[in-house]
Amino acid sequence: SGAAMAAVLGRGLLAPVGARVRARVRVRCGPRAPLRSAASAAPLYDVVVSGGGMVGSAMAAALGHDIHFQDKKIALLEAGPRKEYDHMPDSYSNRVSSISPGSATLLSSFGAWDHVCSLRLKPFRRMQVWDACSEAMIVFEKDDLDDMGYIVENDVIMSALTKQLDAVADRVEVFYRSKAVGYTWPLPSHSCGTSPWVQIELADGRRLQTKLLIGADGHNSVVRKEAEIKNIEHQYDQSAVVATLHLSEATDNNVAWQRFLPTGPIALLPLSDTASSLVWSTSHEHASELLAMDEESFVDSINSAFWSNINHSDFIDTAGAMFRSALSLLKPSGTGVRQLPPSVAEVDPESRAMFPLGMGHATEYVQHRVALIGDAAHRVHPLAGQGVNLGFGDIACLAHHLSAAAFNGSDLGSLKHLLKFETERQRHNVSLIAATDVLKRLYSTRLAPLVLLRTWGLQATNALPPVK
Amino acid sequence: QLSLFRLTVKRPFSTSHSSVDEKEMKKFQLLAHKWWDEEGEYSALHSMNDIRVPFIRDTLLSMSSNYLRGNPLSGVKILDVGCGGGLLSEPLGRLGASVTGIDPLEDNIRTADRHKSFDPVLAKRIQYKSSSLEEIVEECMETFDVIVASEVVEHVADLETFIKCCSQVLKPEGSLFITTINKTQLSYVLGIVVAEKIIGIVPEGTHEWEKFVPPEELEHILESNGFSVKTVKGMLYNPLSGSWSWMESTSLNYAVHAVKSGAQGWSGPTDTLSETDIQQSSATAGTA
């Protein structure tokens, strides 16, 4: 894991202080840019975003609403068809995201958060995380009783983003059913005669040119592969099972619950006073079993996962209890009140699904005229509830640098400001991705020493706000 | 605008009343193809855009009440004297200005033309012309809102003539922006010995210390040719980071903003941008 961590540190973080990164000559073996006459027919955009998911759409919307991009041409390429989100079905979708307050701020910066609020979302005030092998628990709560975050269906976010893209249709052109099949990279800047722009070929033969290509095309990013950017990746031996659940009784339901089982974390994310969304990361075999079993057994499994003490051992319990009483001598109020999670009554039919989990990190986020954001740059285990928030953080950072570059009259594809984005985001993302990976591995075991370690670690962390 | 530049006869450069120096031209000839390599010989000029473009942009914005955010310099006619490969013309064009770039070296103009040709927006907004400043004075009397002469005055043969010509092609109350190098011991050591001979961030032989211009001298020439000096700011290049920043002292590089007096005398707005290094008392001379 140490070697992997060093590898994921990426470019630049290990460079000596003050050293200027020279020699950006990245020799790519792909097809060369065509001569000017052939290329001049293809329309030229200032920015093309490849991938119309939550992160790609939000990136295009953020730039489209930016004051310094008023006269710029932006294109968003989405392989799928345009979805109409005009009215939300009564039942909840099984794909939800935990949106941090920072992400909410980004979305409201271009008017999308208002739409989300007018559709539906569930704020939560508190997060309780605990270990199935001991009593150890950690509670996250904001002192000022503000919302810690929001559980929002992905469809709701997409609906809001689509509305805001429509609002700037004069600047942002969205190409649906337009999969990019080939990218042609420009030669280094001092060669004349060939087009300096990135050439994009679509599946239907249409061509585009752009000064900056932003890859938001997911963890199997084609942009990243074509740019020959090395990706550190690892498939976890886990899949996530998602479902929409109905609670036994109505409750305030403003707590997000996560319990670390030896097989993986199970999380219950509130959707409303009577419904919650399930994200259960477990082995592939167990995930398949969960999908195959009848609805009653499925509900029983969930309740048992949250309530059963079957994984406790007397030794751990005693050791944990002793540690806790020692802690309470030092900091009486620090251990937090343990709430009890709600019990589940039924599962929405047809709402069960599973998808494999993995981690990934691109060693570079940028090259001349290329930037990666979202899962194309980094893929993380859902246990931290961070996935899409990292992507939104990428957008906030990149949009900030591009806006400043546009206001300076700079060439948008210039590495100078792209590297600033990369440095800022790698610094932020790497530690989080590494920590999430470590947590995932630490909690995937019943071995007593490791259980004790994480038990005490969790209890101590819960008692000490700065560490938390 | 294009019709003004139908001169096809290349006049030989006159010796006494021209600001173009033949020796200087030869130096730049060899590097005409290197302009657009951001990591190459001209990397310091590329990174200078990070401070000189905001300086020009913010000064002009602060002077105008019509603030069109999407296109800050829309409608502004700029003359870029000694434009080289167009390193400064292009950002100004991207901000909405109509830029005319002139340079006596044809190869520079060729490079600049070729580079802008791939971007239809820039191709329309920027016109390049191989010419000296004197050669365009006749057709361009009081034509431009702004003149930028960045890293140029330390290469001209006759500074007085140069400034006079600037005044002639500039509209009344138009702005002149100059960046250049001071003539001090420090600028000799750092600007020539270190920059050219040791670290090599400036191609060797580019600069001649004798032709460096102290800000006092520049201000004097400006003021005696109908300009009011508004701002003088020191600039500093950090070779380790490859970036420029502003500084108090003008002992190395510095930038100047001057305004041509209007027809009826002019009280310019206070410069709100940043600390003024040397304020001439005649800066308020415009008030009637």
B197-212 pLDDT per residue, tens: 887 788 888 888 888 9
Residue A431 inside a domain? The answer is yes
Q: Does residue B97 have a pLDDT over 90?
A: yes
- Least confident residue range of A2-11, A300-309, B63-72: A2-11
Q: What does the longest C-alpha to C-alpha distance in chain A come to?
A: 79
Residue A220 inside a domain? The answer is yes
**Partners of residue A408 in chain B, C-beta under 8 Å:** 49-50, 53-54, 57, 91
What's the confidence (pLDDT) of residue A329?
66
- Selecting from A24, A68, A196 the residue whose C-beta is nearest the C-beta of B70 gives A68
**Partners of residue B201 in chain A, C-beta under 8 Å:** none
- The most confident of A400-409, A430-439, B14-23, B264-273, by mean pLDDT: A400-409
One-letter identity of residue A459: Q
Residue A29 inside a domain? The answer is no
| Bridge-based pairing state of the strands A231-247 and A344-347 | antiparallel
What's the confidence (pLDDT) of residue A21?
35
Q: Assign B8 a pLDDT band (cuts: 50, 70, 90).
A: very low
What's the confidence (pLDDT) of residue B195?
82
- Least confident residue range of B40-54, B63-77, B115-129: B63-77
- Domain containing A154 — which CATH number? 3.50.50.60
Residue A432 inside a domain? The answer is yes
What's the confidence (pLDDT) of residue B235?
95
Flag if A24 and B71 touch (Cβ within 8 Å). Answer: no
Work out how many CB contacts closer than 8 A connect A with B: 70
Range A410-414 average pLDDT: 95
Q: Does residue B14 have a pLDDT over 70?
A: no
Flag if A68 and B33 touch (Cβ within 8 Å). Answer: no
Residue A236 inside a domain? The answer is yes
Flag if A410 and B37 touch (Cβ within 8 Å). Answer: no
Residue A462 inside a domain? The answer is yes
Nearest to A134 by CA among A467, A342, A446, A435: A446
Share the mean pLDDT of chain A: 84
Flag if A68 and B117 touch (Cβ within 8 Å). Answer: no
Range A427-449 average pLDDT: 79
Flag if A18 and B240 touch (Cβ within 8 Å). Answer: yes
Residue A180 inside a domain? The answer is yes
Domain span holding position A54: 44-467
Strand partners, A49: A76, A214
- Selecting from B36, B70, B95 the residue whose C-beta is nearest the C-beta of A189 gives B36
**Å from B242 to nearest chain A CA?**
7
3-state secondary structure A112-128: HHHHHHHHCCEEECEEE
Flag if A36 and B93 touch (Cβ within 8 Å). Answer: no
Q: Is A312 on the interface with B (CB under 8 A)?
A: no
Cβ(A133)–Cβ(A262) below 8 Å: yes
| DSSP at A202 | E
3-state secondary structure chain A: CHHHHHHHCCCCCCCCCCCCCCCCCCCCCCCECCEHHHHCCCCEEEEEEECCCHHHHHHHHHHHCCHHHCCCCEEEECCCCCCCCCCCCCCCCCCEEEECHHHHHHHHHCCHHHHHHHHCCEEECEEEEEECCCCCEEEEECCCCCCCEEEEEHHHHHHHHHHHHHHCCCCEEEECCCCEEEEEECCCCCCCCECCCEEEEECCCCEEEEEEEEECCCCCCHHHHHCCCCEEEEEEEEEEEEEEEEECCCCCCCEEEEEEECCEEEEEEECCCCEEEEEEEEEHHHHHHHHHCCHHHHHHHHHHHHHCCCCCCHHHHHHHHHHHHHHHHHCCCCCCCCCCCCCEEEECCCCCEEEEEEEEEECCCEECCEEECHHHCEECCHHHCCHHHHHHHHHHHHHHHHHHHHHCCCCCCCHHHHHHHHHHHHHHHHHHHHHHHHHHHHCCCCCHHHHHHHHHHHHHHHHCCCCC
Q: Does residue B278 have a pLDDT over 60?
A: no
Flag if A408 and B240 touch (Cβ within 8 Å). Answer: no
**Å from A410 to nearest chain B CA?**
6
What's the confidence (pLDDT) of residue A37?
47
**Residue A136, token pair as written in the block:** 């150890």
CA quadruple A362, A366, A372, A374: dihedral, nearest 10: 60
Q: Does residue A237 have a pLDDT over 70?
A: yes
Q: Does residue A335 have a pLDDT over 60?
A: no
What's the confidence (pLDDT) of residue A181?
92
Q: How many folded domains does chain A comprise?
A: 1
First-to-final CA distance of chain B: 35
Domains of chain B, start order = 22-260 (3.40.50.150)
Residue A23 inside a domain? The answer is no
